[in-house]
Structure 1
């Protein structure tokens, strides 16, 4: 990418990184004009001052316009959201991955002692059962630091 292209991307990202800017654009994505109050409700938990500031910035950038019916996306704003439309499909897949990741047990680090059962208190010896191997004792000469069960 050329320096001019990098500058343009950086400038656009700076605009979109502003708090609630993408949410304002996203709220207008359906093509229906929204009044200030409706837009505030659509974005959710945005103060009137912040919404006013974002609308002003997005209007100056040529992404949002104001007409008799309220605020709507300009042709450039529609083009931007069309290019970001894959975001919704990606977000769905990403969220499923996050749920699966959270549900899966964390893999043990190579050479780490097996984790103590969740029901045992920190520092208390794990109950011994015939099928569960006992954890090796850590000694000062060990090359790996002991695993802190609190982490």
Structure 2
């Protein structure tokens, strides 16, 4: 079943939008797919390779989930982030910066 705000999702019956997006982004490989598309569209095979040769069936399911969540779309060049996902990228880039700092303190 597609993830949608205002409907119950894994781990929450509230339907709060934050819980729906955490469910979608928390699925295995979802964030990695978004991350690999941050610089532009990729074909299925290029995306699969960028994701360390993720299995085709898992990638297909993740793309389906992300398309239903309006975060990824397919255009003539391949799979690409939607405007909504591009708006999410500054948050993910900030999280990446934080993670780099965190890793430095753990070294």
- Note the residue ranges of structure 2 that are not aligned, 5 or more in a row: 1-5, 7-13
Say whether residues 1:24 and 2:37 are aligned partners: no
* Count, aligned residues: 95
Provide the rounded CA distance (Å) in 1 between the counterparts of 2:47 and 2:18. 27
What are the residue-to-residue correspondences of 1:99-138 with 2, within 5 Å?
99=107
- Partner of 2:16, secondary structure, is helix
CA 1:85–1:6: 2 relative to 1, 3 Å: farther
Shift in Å at residue 6 of structure 1? 7.3
Matching residue of 1:63: 71
Shift in Å at residue 18 of structure 1? 0.4
CA 1:21–1:89: 2 relative to 1, 3 Å: same
Bigger helix share = 2
Q: Structure 1 length normalisation: TM-score?
A: 0.60
- Note the residue ranges of structure 1 that are not aligned, 5 or more in a row: 100-151
Residue deviations 1:32-58 (CA, integer Å, cap 9, x gap) = 210000001111141100000000000
Higher relative contact order (CA 8 A, sep 6+): 2
Shift in Å at residue 75 of structure 1? 0.1
RMSD: 1.6
- Return the index of the structure with the highest Cα Rg: 1
- Partner of 2:18, secondary structure, is helix
